[in-house]
Amino acid sequence: MSYTYTINEAHRLMTTQLDVPNRLLLGPGPSNAHPRVLQAMSLPPIGHLDPRFIHLMNEIQELLRYAWQTENSLTIPVSGTGSAGMEAALANVIEPGDVVLIGINGYFGLRLADMAGRYGADVRIIQKPWGQIFSLAELEAAVAEHKPAVLALVHAETSTGARQPLEGVGELCRANHCLFLIDTVTSLGGVPLFLDEWQVDVAYSGTQKCLSCPPGLAPLTLGERAVQKLKNRRHKVANWYLDMSLISNYWGDSRTYHHTAPINMNYGLREALRLVAEEGMAERWARHQAIVELLWQGLAELGLHCHVEPEYRLPSLTTVRIPDGVDGKAVVGRLLNEFNIEIAGGLGELAGKVWRIGLMGYNSRPENVYRLLDGLKRILLGS
């Protein structure tokens, strides 16, 4: 029997060649990709088990260890965005019924709590107003009260611009037999990180912030205590795609097929990390701090105030309070339409109250600060 079908032409859209504006991306992410990263991503793909690609994978792992300042053997880029890194971090170290204590002082603490609950965790929270940080004493009290299997904190809260101090927290966790997990999406490559010295067990990040690479990969690292928790699980990891006991075989010595890695994204990440290594971590951190202080000075001269106390502000992301009587959304729109600059408004509790300005990686340069300040001055002061 033969069949006859009629092709539906209704959705056959004859579009033009792709043309997107070249914006200056000074929001919370993505940041502008470095030209060398874009060039690397344009190279021809090869197979994900090709010997040359396996060599490239080894280089990426080693460079990620440098950026995070860790010796962790299980250090890889997860195929997915930063939120996939968050999910991978939680899925692999949470068993149903585990008490997971999460510090919530911004939007991404809320996301951690939501994800942890979906993996069957007994989620407990400690909260602070958005833009504030947790003291070590507050964390000690919460750990003593809840006795968690995992303590999760956001090191660089993208919604508030606050940097959570981590010194002493890893020691606290080890003394209380819990894993220490941190979000470094807006800090890796731009804010000082010492995972081994801080005794961090699990960390994740994204490529699109301080690494100046397009979104699409999520660096993840598990220390030995987290690896042991993974090996000794009573149940399989509830997420097959993000199961590190499977993926580690692809990134480890056996190179066992798991999924087809995004080849060109890994080209881009390798080049981004090569740029980090060429500059040096100390120099890179110092550059981010020097450039953001230039921004803070310029904002003050315009009569604008930052939301976070200076001691705890991120060098990669600044929240600026919207002055009374100013339409914050209109300012964001004018910067985009008249000056080709992207910044963002607030999330959650800070919606309509702040602007978020990112100076990340390749974008952390004086000329970008001056360009933004000039645009803000012209809009706010009419000059």
DSSP codes of every residue in 133-156: ---HHHHHHHHHHH--SEEEEESE
Top CATH class of 35-277 equals alpha beta
Is 98:150 a contact under the CB 8 Å cutoff?
A: yes
Q: Which residues contact 105 (CB under 8 A, 6 or more apart)?
A: 127, 128, 129, 130, 131, 132, 133, 134, 154, 157, 160, 162, 164
In this prediction, residue 383 has a pLDDT band, given cuts at 50, 70 and 90, of low
Q: In percent, how much of the chain has pLDDT > 70?
A: 100
- Mean pLDDT value of segment 113-130: 98
- Record the tokens describing residue 307, joined without a space: 């939301």
pTM: 0.96
Residues 6+ apart with CB under 8 A from 140: 172
- DSSP conformation class of 317: E
> CA quadruple 278, 281, 282, 285: dihedral positive or negative?
positive
Tell the CATH superfamily of the 24-30+280-381 domain.
Aspartate Aminotransferase, domain 1 (3.90.1150.10)
Percent of the chain with pLDDT over 90: 98
**Segment 25-33 mean pLDDT:** 97
Average pLDDT value for residue range 163-185:
98
Position 96 scores a pLDDT of 97
The conformational region for residue 220 under phi > 0 = left, psi -120 to 50 = alpha, else beta, is beta
Using pLDDT thresholds of 50, 70 and 90, give the confidence band for residue 382. Answer: confident
**Domain limits, the chain:** 24-30+280-381, 35-277
- In eight-state DSSP terms, residue 350 is G
| 322 CB-contact burial (10 Å; exposed 0-12 / middle 13-18 / buried 19+) | buried
Residue 1 confidence class, pLDDT cut points 50, 70, 90: confident
For 134-153, the pLDDT digits (tens) are 999 999 999 999 999 999 99
Q: Which of 167, 212, 162, 157 shows the shortest CA–CA distance to 189?
A: 212
Average pLDDT over residues 107-125: 98
pLDDT band at 253; cut points 50, 70, 90: confident
